[in-house]
Each structure stands twice: as C-alpha cells, then as structure tokens.
Amino acid sequence: MSDTPVVPTSIKIVVAGGFGVGKTTMVNSVSEIPPLRTEEVLTEASVGVDDMRGIEGKETTTVALDFGRITINPQVVLYLFGTPGQNRFWFMWDELAHGALGAIVLVDTRRLDSSFPSIDFFERRNIPFIIAVNGFEGSWEHTAEEVRQALDIAPTVPIINCDARIKDSSKDVLVELVQYTMDLLSKTPV
C-alpha cells in the first residue's frame, strides 16, 4: 500500500434555472457538507424587478452562488455551484460555469419562460445540460415530451422529474447528468 496521498479528480457541476425554481434547495439537499449559501432577504428593491409570479411566498434570494460538495469515492469529488436566478446577477454565470463538466437546468413548469435564459446560456457555450423538472404542485402534469416541445430543446437532452427537497431525488438528477456527459464525451473524437 502506497503512502502517496490520493488527489481526487474534481468535477464541477452547475445548478441553474430561473428565479425561485429550487436551486439552493437542491444543492442543500444533496451536499455532504453544510453548503455555502449567499442568500439575502428580499427587500422592497425587488418589487417590480423580480418576477414573483407563482412564488409569492419567497422571502430570500441567492445573490452570488450556492456551493456544495459530494465525495463519490476517494478519487472523484463533485463540486456543485448553484447560480443566482435573477437576471441582475447573471454577470456571475460565466465564472460559475467556467470549467464545468455539465449543468442541471432546474425548471418549474408553472413558469417555463424563466428557463429559456439558462438553456440559451449553456447551448451557446456548448456546455452539456439536462432538464430537471422540480416537483412543485402541478408541475408533473406535463410529459417529458410536452416539456421538451415547450422549451424547444434537442431530443437528445435528458428530462427528469425531481423533488429538489429530497436528497435521493437530487442525487438521481446528478447521476443522470454525469451519465449523459460521460456518454457525450465518449462520442467526442479525440
């Protein structure tokens, strides 16, 4: 047995989506460490700026990022970076996405229009992504194909239902993303 310390391979995953779709909740539910969160209380400054439709009870918002970690084994560690959802904080997305293996675009089917900026962001940068439909009340009433058509995404992009509050559900989304990106990488010519 070697005394040489194992240096794990780091895999960066971005959790993105519109304002109030559950990004902080997902990172929080699945991280093995207490996540770094940059949440602040919503103030009157957001009135008329942030679209609160469907999330009227929301009281806090991410102003920079959420950060979590999952150790797969001593050789592989996932680092999760949750993006802020409001467009006034999108200037940080390039830094958060730099070097990412892939992304999860978390969506709320009650407010699908808030998903388009995230999808466009990853498509333009050729960062593989999957769609995770968060289990808000009534959000699973649509089939994956209906969501695909509404979002106008390629037939190869996986769509998975989840409940961001539940660790195993969030873990299933991460597994889907890693499998999808590994499959894409295996098909990429060297």
Helix (H) or strand (E) holding 134: strand 129-134
> What is the per-residue pLDDT across 104-141, written as a single tens digit (0 to 9) for each?
999 998 888 889 999 999 999 999 999 999 987 656 68
- Shortest CA distance to 66 belongs to which of 164, 190, 178, 187? 164
Q: Which residue has the tokens 């299933």?
A: 172
Q: How many CB atoms lie within 10 A of CB 125?
A: 14
User: Contact, 126 vs 37, CB < 8 A?
Assistant: no
User: What does the pLDDT read at residue 39?
Assistant: 63
What is the residue extent of each domain of the chain? 9-187
> What is the per-residue pLDDT across 40-91, written as a single tens digit (0 to 9) for each?
555 565 555 555 565 555 555 555 578 899 998 888 899 999 988 666 667 7
- Shortest CA distance to 23 belongs to which of 79, 62, 71? 62
Q: What is the mean pLDDT of the chain?
A: 84
| Measured distance CA(133)–CA(36) in Å, rounded | 24
What's the average model confidence in pLDDT over 134-155? 86
User: What does the pLDDT read at residue 116?
Assistant: 94
- Shortest CA distance to 113 belongs to which of 15, 21, 22? 21
Q: How many CB atoms lie within 10 A of CB 74?
A: 10
Give CATH for domain 9-187.
3.40.50.300
